[in-house]
Structure 1
Amino acid sequence: MTEPEVLGVRFRDGTPDAVRHVYEQYSAMVYSLALRALRNTADAEDVTQQVFVNAWRSRHRFDPERAPIGAWLAGITRNAVAEAHRRRFRDRGALGEAPELGEPDRTEEIVDQVLVAQALSDLGPPQQDVLELAFFEHLTHTEIAERMDLPLGTVKSHITRGLRRMRTRMEEGRHASR
């Protein structure tokens, strides 16, 4: 079991120090998601606090076998951000103000980016290394094989298996967050 999986189990089981560790590891991610979506530090701080309170209260529903704790928290964050947007809209309507028009809500896109990064980091080497070279450095399979001193077939296998594992992990994360 990986360290994040152990932490997730301990959190679900209500181990007191696990709450602190989960907060230390994931509060920056939660805050960043909230801030990007809400564009207001006070609202992002409120959402961050709300996410961890909600996570603690509903920890019995967290299944570390289905998704990593980071993906589960991202889903709770998505819901808390949506609720903050609804609250803003209601409050503006009650005050007779028109809602602000701006960029569309990018929460879903940001959550997807977090899930991709989490799924990629969960792969570990060499699949993670091969996929990073392919997608972030835009290297061909042949160039990756040369750089990593691996047979071309091995590189292709790592890419295929890595993408399959990432897709499964991301689907689990999306289902767990709903």
Structure 2
Amino acid sequence: MGRLSNDDERAAAHARLFCPALVRAVLGWLRRLGIPRCHRTDVAGQVWLNAWQSWPRFDPKRGRPERWLNAITVHVASHYHERMRRRREELVALIDVADPAPDAAATMESDSIRAGAIDAVNELEPKLRFVLVAHDLNGVSMAHIAEEVGLPLSVIYKRRTQAIRALRDIIELRENTEDFARRAGQQ
């Protein structure tokens, strides 16, 4: 059996790429790359647009089409994070507020949210908690953290991603438990 021609290889790669399974894969990659859920489908749309536009330049001999799509996804996610870092929004007051201080109920809710977030962070593995607290709360650069603990920078970035994912899972589990308890109490 002979080798496939370049056109046949491209057709096979096209069939592998533009299928529902890879749509889900792209959304998963974006989740792991730290794209917020509310922006994930928009960013995924940009990934597919970039893939479609660069499809004529795709060479199946250089690698699997999934790897090519993953590289596009990482590139688009990187640009998303860069844009978000530079984004500046100004809040405009639509109404005049007599007393800008929060009322007692808002203060209690804010304190409850803060305490819940602290508890969730404390549930993280120590090595994940260290990176998250040092970088996201104390503003220490990732390069400085890597140097301080003597690990490659890529490991520190992976730990931060794992910490954020674990923190989301902890919070989501708590919300689901609270929803379940609330629904059970109504019955």
TM, length-normalised to structure 1: 0.44
- The higher radius of gyration belongs to 2
